[in-house]
Amino acid sequence: MHFTSEQRLDNGVLEREFTLGEIPGILWTPGSASATAPAPLILLGHPPLGLHRMYPRLVARALHAAADGFAAATIELPGSGDRPRWPAADQARADLRRAMEAGEPVSDEIIDALILPLVEKSVPEWQAALDALLSLPEIGGPVGYSGGVISIGVRLAVVEPRIVAAGLFAGSFVPRAMFEEARQVTIPLHVLLQWDDEGNDRQAALDLFDAFGSKEKTLHANMGGHTGVPQFAGDDAAGFFARHLK
């Protein structure tokens, strides 16, 4: 892990860009006032649109986390942003777009091609990032995972024991195979659903929530479309991590 830049943001939060092999990432750590002990960490998931494009929303989430005393970090997804193109992923996205523009139902084949390779490839990268991040003296644990492609969060919750709580965003397509995987999740979950999300299958989101094996799981459904998650929903999610990472 190599730091390539650093700057101070509001309240002394330190933002550092890094690379982990070929993978770019960003780490935010709380200002020195609150950084008396190694901080718990929240991994910030995001859709495969590139870190630059997602930066405004990521930094807002990171500042919120830092205000609660948490470090936050994210990495670029394979095939996104400055990483090498991934023709199979581009093809899957083109197929999805074509189906949606034609008003056709999005087939299981399209969803599988879109999501499963992304899960397979990115989850070990998040785990490698976790290895590197937890080796820093300023970061302790426990670790939470928040948002992004929900199937990545589900797989991480199953395979990565260092993640003790996950806040998931039910806003992306879910392959059939992930419903079975969801039953194996046992950590506390906080699931956000935008009730009238145009591009999302509400019933699939409810079915996935039902499938999770966790004894503590909470679903928060709000109005406002895919990108219209209300401010107070972010506050509630912060409360969830405050309960589980402190």
Residues that bind a copy of itself (CB under 8 A): 195, 206, 209-210, 214-223, 230, 232-233, 235-236, 239-240, 243
The burial class, CB within 10 Å (0-12 / 13-18 / 19+), for 226 is middle
**What is the nearest approach in angstroms of a copy of itself to the Cβ of residue 224?**
9
Cβ proximity to a copy of itself: between 124 and 239 the closer is: 239
Q: Looking at residue 11, what DSSP letter applies?
A: G
Q: What is the CA radius of gyration of the chain?
A: 17
**What is the nearest approach in angstroms of a copy of itself to the Cβ of residue 217?**
6
**What is the nearest approach in angstroms of a copy of itself to the Cβ of residue 233?**
8
Answer whether 55's CB lies under 8 Å from 42's CB: no
**Element (H or E) spanning 166, and its range?**
strand 163-169
Cβ proximity to a copy of itself: between 124 and 199 the closer is: 199
DSSP code per residue over 104-164: PPPPHHHHHHHHHHHHHHHHHHHHHHHHHHHTSTTEEEEEEEEES-HHHHHHHHHH-TTEE
**What is the nearest approach in angstroms of a copy of itself to the Cβ of residue 236?**
5
Cβ proximity to a copy of itself: between 110 and 191 the closer is: 191
**What is the nearest approach in angstroms of a copy of itself to the Cβ of residue 230?**
8
Cβ proximity to a copy of itself: between 69 and 234 the closer is: 234
Cβ proximity to a copy of itself: between 173 and 240 the closer is: 240
Answer whether 146's CB lies under 8 Å from 237's CB: yes
Cβ proximity to a copy of itself: between 77 and 170 the closer is: 170
**What is the nearest approach in angstroms of a copy of itself to the Cβ of residue 99?**
25
Tokens of 138: 């300023």
Pairing type for strands 14-20 and 23-29 reads: antiparallel
Answer whether 62's CB lies under 8 Å from 44's CB: yes
